[in-house]
């Protein structure tokens, strides 16, 4: 535990300090000067860059702590599976950004590329265990696969439910407020039904696809956690039987 204190103290402390400075500068300094002075580009850039640097340092801290914790400990079979999932997420997000057929994939493509790229940067700093370790491990048991599937399903449901609650259509459903208020109840019900039908038919299936990526990562991780170790696999073999 003591070896984690150095990075936490320096990277975490400076990062949180930079974020706090940016917020305080925004509220106190900019709030206490004249309107004309607040329009200065440099003054407005100070809190932005302070918060940006703070977030960057916290992200670097997460990379350092993750690498210190898992370097040489994660079997190659799980490390490569998670890495491949992240790479597929990047490629799928790029396709969503540049496909000309629908605006819905474009809306989520950038977010998927951003999250997948940051995940790849973090994951690429983790060195998997030697291939010999993976070769010595027993195959995944049914219990491990079930545990991974349940954990992945829970993540999928949580991600899809959360994104649905945020992105579900709401009044005035893309119309101007004045136009929406001019409609009678029957017209409003028609517009609402059309918006919900479009969301459920186009956007909701894409949210499920979007949620499959974090669900897959959790599946691989939970399956490895629940997997049998060589010691437990040997103990499960009856006496007198060669494993």
pLDDT digits (tens, 9 = 90+) for 41-77: 777 788 889 999 999 999 999 999 999 999 988 999 9
2 within domain boundaries? yes
pLDDT in tens, 153-173: 999 999 999 999 988 888 888
CB neighbour class for 128 (10 Å; exposed up to 12, middle 13-18, buried from 19): buried
Token pair belonging to 165: 């609650």
Q: Range of 32's domain?
A: 1-70
User: What pLDDT is recorded for position 232?
Assistant: 53
110 within domain boundaries? no
146 within domain boundaries? no
User: What pLDDT is recorded for position 145?
Assistant: 95
61 within domain boundaries? yes
Which has the minimum average pLDDT: 149-158, 178-187, 232-241? 232-241
If you average pLDDT over each of 46-60, 100-114, 177-191, 194-208, which comes out highest?
46-60
pLDDT in tens, 117-133: 999 999 999 999 887 87
56 within domain boundaries? yes
83 within domain boundaries? no
13 within domain boundaries? yes
Q: Which pTM does this prediction carry?
A: 0.81
pLDDT in tens, 216-231: 999 999 999 998 876 5
User: What pLDDT is recorded for position 30?
Assistant: 67
- Model confidence band, residue 239 (pLDDT cutoffs 50, 70, 90): very low
User: What pLDDT is recorded for position 51?
Assistant: 93
Query: Is the pLDDT higher at 237 or at 138?
Result: 138
58 within domain boundaries? yes
Which has the minimum average pLDDT: 10-19, 23-32, 96-105, 125-134? 23-32
- DSSP notation for the chain: -HHHHHHIIIIIHHHHHHHHHHHHIIIIIGGGS-HHHHT-HHHHHHHHHHHHHHHHHHHHHHHHHHHHHHTTTS-HHHHHHHHHHHHHHHHHHHHHHH-SS-HHHHHHHHHHHHHHHHHHHHHTTPPPPPHHHHHHSPPPPHHHHHHHHHHHHHHHHHHHHHHHHHHS--TTTTS-HHHHHHS-HHHHHHHHHHHHHHIIIIIHHHHHHHHHHHHHHHHHHHHHHHSPPHHHHHHTSPTT---
pLDDT in tens, 6-23: 889 889 999 999 999 988
| Cβ neighbours of residue 68 closer than 8 Å, sequence gap 6 or more | 3, 4, 7
Q: How many domains does the chain have?
A: 1
């Amino acid at each position: 535990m003591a070896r984690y204190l150095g990075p936490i103290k320096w990277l975490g402390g400076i990062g949180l300090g930079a974020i706090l400075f940016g917020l305080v500068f925004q509220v106190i300094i900019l709030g206490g000067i004249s309107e004309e002075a607040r329009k200065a580009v440099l003054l407005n850039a100070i809190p932005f860059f302070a918060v940006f640097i703070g977030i960057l340092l916290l992200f670097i801290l997460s990379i350092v702590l993750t690498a210190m914790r898992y370097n040489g400990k994660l079997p190659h079979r799980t490390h490569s599976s998670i890495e491949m999932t992240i790479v597929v997420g990047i490629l799928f997000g790029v396709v969503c950004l540049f496909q000309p057929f629908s605006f819905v994939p474009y809306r989520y493509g950038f977010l998927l590329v951003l999250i997948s790229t940051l995940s790849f940067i973090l994951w690429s700093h983790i060195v998997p265990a030697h291939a010999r370790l993976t070769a010595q491990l027993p195959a995944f048991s049914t219990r491990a696969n079930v545990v991974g599937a349940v954990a992945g399903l829970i993540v999928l449901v949580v991600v899809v439910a959360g994104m649905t609650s945020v992105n579900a259509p709401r009044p005035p459903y893309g119309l101007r407020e004045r136009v929406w208020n001019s409609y009678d109840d029957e017209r409003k019900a028609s517009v609402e039904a059309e918006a919900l039908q479009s969301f459920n038919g186009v956007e909701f299936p894409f949210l499920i696809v979007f949620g499959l990526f974090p669900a897959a990562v959790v599946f691989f991780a939970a399956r490895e956690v629940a997997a049998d170790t060589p010691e437990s696999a040997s103990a499960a073999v009856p006496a007198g039987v060669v494993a």
